[in-house]
Structures are given as structure tokens and as C-alpha cells.
Amino acid sequence: MTLAADRDLGNQAFAVEDITTGVHASGFGQVGDGRSFSFHIEKQMLVVEVYRPRVTGPVPQAEDVVAVANRKLTDIDLTDERSVVAAVRDAVAAAQPVTRTAR
């Protein structure tokens, strides 16, 4: 596990704050516009969830998810942190908005 020091993103548009590599890769980070994201491996897919800006609680809830992306694990070296971060960065950029149904 790698944990980045607390820092302001400044001009960066993407930062991974925590990452675990391997077959159970997971982690979280921030996008430059104030949104946060998390990722994990589920059923041979990289799953990325992007959350609304300024989530108030320590753990985002389902209603905080504003976009999602899924990517097959082919061409991702799960043992290489750089490969995982690059795949997550691309997935965050390609994440599609979540549609909400009226209650």
C-alpha cells in the first residue's frame, strides 16, 4: 500500500492518495475539480466510482456516486503501480454519469 502525503492538488487534475496493487487492487484519490474517486477489482473488471464534490462523510454513500467506469483487466499489469494508476486515470476521464430514477 502506498499513501501519499496530504497535499493541495494545485494545477494537477488527478492524484491517487492510496493504492494497493495486485489481484485485489484498490485505492482512492481526487480529481482537480474537487471530486473524489475510488477504484477496486470486481469480477475481472476495474471498477471506478467518481463521487460528487465535497462529500461530507468519511465514507461516500451510493447517492454520492455521480459517474462510473468499468474496464477489462487486459493490458493492465496489476502488480505495477504505474500501470494501475494509468488505467484508473483513463477510467476516471472516461467515466459516464450515473442516471438516477425518481423515487
Give the pLDDT of residue 102.
58
Q: Is the pLDDT of residue 5 over 80?
A: no
pLDDT in tens, 57-86: 778 888 899 999 999 999 999 999 999 999
pLDDT in tens, 29-65: 999 888 999 999 999 999 999 999 987 777 888 889 9
In angstroms, rounded to a whole number, what is the distance separating the alpha carbons of residues 62 and 33? 20
Q: How many C-beta atoms lie closer than 10 Å to residue 62's C-beta?
A: 7
Residue 10 confidence class, pLDDT cut points 50, 70, 90: low
Q: Concatenated DSSP letters for 10-51?
A: TT-SEEEEEEE-STT-EEEEEETTS-EEEEEEETTEEEEEEE
98 Cβ contact partners less than 8 Å away, ≥ 6 residues apart: 65, 66, 67, 68
- Rg of the chain (C-alpha set): 13
Residue 4 confidence class, pLDDT cut points 50, 70, 90: very low
Give the pLDDT of residue 58.
78
Give the pLDDT of residue 8.
52
